[in-house]
Structure 1
Amino acid sequence: MTRQSILLFIALFLVAGIADAQSKYTTKSFQILINGTSNVHDWSSKATNVTVTGDFLVNNNIPEKINNATVKVQTKSLKSTKDSDLMDERTHSTLKADKFPEIVYVFTKVINVQQSGGETIMNVSGNLTLGGVTKPTDLTLRVKTLANGDLEIKGSKKILMSTYGIKPPSFMLGAMKVADEVTLSYSIVLKKS
């Protein structure tokens, strides 16, 4: 085997290894909650229709990089955890669900990555579109490879509705006012597609 052949073999081996380590993933299960407060009581809504797609670089079961990722939540799939139809109507109206049927987060880049006790902690940037308004939004993702090869992603993010031009709703002729800040919590499991 000539030196040139050896170099070509090594290059092909490396490319094959990298290609094998990069995998496309889709939603297997999810729990996405929006939690908020008001001057009367706390409230919570859960997303019931979510699609996540992504391309991750995983080496030796350790997630190292995200090449691309998109999260889509059907706005009208947000349902009150207390099964309140009135709350659902107000939530959908506040988020302009008829005009903007999806809440979308599109990953743009990884800011930094660190390993911590079997988890990969990734700080990432992306663009969040809420009620038709798109703003850059950073997230901290705790990513773990499960025994079956699925990826588990967890985290939370505080968001001001006013940043997206959304006026927090009020109820009972203004007697109950919802606070501007909400917390988005997510626990998502992705499977190889």
Structure 2
Amino acid sequence: MSFLFILWSILFMDPIFSLDKIKWIVSEDSRLEIEGSTNVNKYNCALIDYSGTDILIQNDEVGVGNMSWAGDIVMKANNFDCFNPIMTRDFLKTVQAEEYPEIRIRFLELVGSRNPSQKEAFYGKVDITIAGVTKRFPVSCQLVTLSENSKKIVGSQSFKFTDFGIDPPVKFLGTVKVKDEIKVNFELFLVGKK
């Protein structure tokens, strides 16, 4: 008798913990900036003209209070501007924009706990693809609730050009050398998809 009750419970009752999936569009207002330096100065390259069509999925574990996010952000390499024509040209050549026109960030299960605060810390992994090479990195970021239908994910990630098999550029007979480490800062504005 108890076996039949357990079987009936498994087959016909709602599970205690279920997943609630919500789709969010990554808005064209989102920002991504790359910071780097040379032995002479610093530089910034910003993503301009982002299309705003990528989707991130929010998974809420109902009954547990945990939340996770996953999805891809795809950017056109040629849409980065270093605010100096020579620096922009060198950056696009370095990331091999002609051969590999897309730079991709894949969020792999950013996990955090759902709480009533406006800011929530999330941790997880991202796959970053540059010049056709994909590498996985740990990432921490913050989810900020702006309104019922809008949020933003803010964070940064450091890595090296050589992680992707890219040699940092050297210019002017070796007098200007780009340092290997760069930092990516991102602010992704999300709008609930209806």
- Superposition map of 1:34-113 within 5 A: 34-50=34-50, 51=52, 52-57=54-59, 64-66=67-69, 68-80=70-82, 83-110=83-110, 112-113=111-112
1:51-89 CA deviation, whole Å, 9 max, x = no partner? Answer: 432111358xx98222x3101111111101xx2111111
Count of aligned positions: 178
Matches within 5 A, 1:94-133: 94-110=94-110, 112-114=111-113, 117-133=117-133
Tell me which residue corresponds to 1:24. 23
Amino acid in the other structure paired with 2:124: V
Structure 1 113/145 Cα, relative in aligned 2: closer, same or farther at 3 Å? same
Q: Distance in 1 between matches of 2:49 and 2:164?
A: 22
Equivalent residues in 2 for 1:142-153, closer than 5 Å: 142-153=142-153
As a proportion of its length, which structure holds more strand?
1
In the alignment, the residues of structure 1 paired with residue 23 and residue 147 of structure 2 have an alpha-carbon distance, to the nearest angstrom, of 18
Counterparts of 1:150 and 1:135 in 2: how far apart (Å)? 30
- Amino acid in structure 2 at the alignment position of 1:27: V
SS class of match (1:136):
strand
Asked if the contact 2:66–2:114 (Cα under 8 Å) also holds between the matched residues in 1, the reply is no
Q: Check the 8 A contact 1:35/1:45 in 2, yes or no.
A: yes
Equivalents in 1 of 2:66, 2:177: separation in Å? 42
Q: CA deviation at 1:173?
A: 2.8
Residues 66, 113 of structure 2: 8 Å contact kept:
no
Q: CA deviation at 1:107?
A: 2.4
- TM-score using structure 2 length: 0.80
d(CA) in 2 for partners of 1:105 and 1:56?
16
Q: CA deviation at 1:125?
A: 1.3
Q: Quote the residue 2:4 is aligned against.
A: none
Q: Distance in 2 between matches of 1:63 and 1:33?
A: 30
- What's 2:162 paired with? 162
Structure 2: 5+ residue stretches without partners: 1-7
Change (3 A) 1:161 1:183: same
What is the CA–CA distance in structure 1 between the aligned matches of 2:113 and 2:173, rounded to whole Å? 49
How far apart in 2 are the matches of 1:63 and 1:152? 18
Q: Which structure: greater helix fraction? A: 1
SS in 1 for 2:87: helix
Following TM superposition, by how much is the alpha carbon of 1:26 offset from its aligned partner in structure 2, in angstroms? 1.1
**Deviation for aligned residue 1:170:** 2.1
Q: Shift of the alpha carbon at 1:40?
A: 0.6
For 2:38 and 2:161, the matched residues in 1 are separated by: 13
Give 2:3's aligned residue.
none
Gaps of 5+ in 1: none
Contact 1:49 1:73 in 2 (8 A): no
Between the aligned partners of 1:182 and 1:105, the Cα distance in structure 2 is 15
What is the SS of the residue equivalent to 2:135? strand
AA at the equivalent of 1:181: E
Q: Answer yes or no: is the 8 Å Cα contact 1:31–1:186 preserved in 2.
A: yes
1:88 aligned counterpart, secondary structure: helix
